[in-house]
A and B are shown apart, each in its own frame.
Chain A
Amino acid sequence: MSQKMWTARARESWQKNLPIEKLIPDTQPSYVASWIYVFGVLTIAALSMIVLSGLILAFAGPAWYHTSSFGHWVNSLHFWSVQLFFAFMVIHLWGKFWMAAWRGNRFKTWVSGAVVFVLSIATAFTGYLIQTNFDSQWIAFEAKDGFNSAGIGAFFNVTNLGQMLLLHVAFLPAVLGLLTLIHVLMVRKRGVVPPIDADSSNTEAAK
Chain B
Amino acid sequence: MSKVLSPKEEFDAKPWAGKLRKYDILKEGTIALVVVALLVTSLAFIFGSPDEKSLTFKGWAISNSDNFYATTVQELAGTSGTATYGRPYNTNGDGLNVGPLFLQKWAGVTQRINAANDFVIEPLMNQVQSPEVKAALSQWSTATETQRTKWATTYDDAITKVEGKLSAVPNGDYGPVPALANGLTEMAKAGALDAALLSQGGFFQTDSTKQILFFGDGAYLDDAGTAANLQGGTWGMMNETGRYPGQAWLWLYSFWYQIPPFTNEDSHPIGANADVYIMVIMGLMSLGLIAMPLIPGIRSLPMRIPIHRGIWRSYYQSEGIKRRKR
| Contact status A98-B21, CB under 8 Å | no
Q: Which residue on B lies nearest to A128, using beta carbons?
A: B247
Interface of A is mostly: helix
| Contact status A141-B291, CB under 8 Å | no
| Contact status B286-A26, CB under 8 Å | no
Q: Which residues of A contact B207 (CB under 8 A)?
A: 157, 159-163
- Is B206 on the interface with A (CB-CB < 8 A)? yes
Which residues of chain B from 266 to 295 have any CB-CB distance to chain A below 8 Å in the complex? 273, 275-276, 278-280, 283, 286, 289-294
- Is A178 on the interface with B (CB-CB < 8 A)? no
User: Number of A-B pairs whose CB atoms are under 8 Å?
Assistant: 315
| Contact status B224-A197, CB under 8 Å | no
Q: Which residues of A contact B230 (CB under 8 A)?
A: 138, 142
Q: Give the number of residues in B that approach A within 8 Å (Cβ atoms).
A: 111
Q: Which residues of B contact A149 (CB under 8 A)?
A: 95-96, 103-104, 273, 275-276, 279
Q: Give the number of residues in A that approach B within 8 Å (Cβ atoms).
A: 100
Give the one of B7, B32, B273, B322 with max A CB within 10 A: B32
| Contact status B104-A133, CB under 8 Å | no
- Is B28 on the interface with A (CB-CB < 8 A)? yes
Which residues of chain A from 110 to 160 have any CB-CB distance to chain B below 8 Å in the complex? 110-111, 114-115, 117-118, 121, 124-125, 128, 131-138, 140-155, 157, 159-160
Q: From known contacts A34-B314, A66-B51, infer whether A134 and B21 are also in contact, taking CB-CB under 8 Å.
A: no
Q: Which residues of A contact B203 (CB under 8 A)?
A: none
CA distance A146 to B14 in the complex (A): 45
| Contact status A134-B224, CB under 8 Å | yes
CA distance A29 to B40 in the complex (A): 32
Apart from A84-B39, A196-B303, list 6 A-B contacts with CB within 8 A. Answer: A26-B22, A31-B315, A97-B292, A154-B108, A196-B302, A202-B319
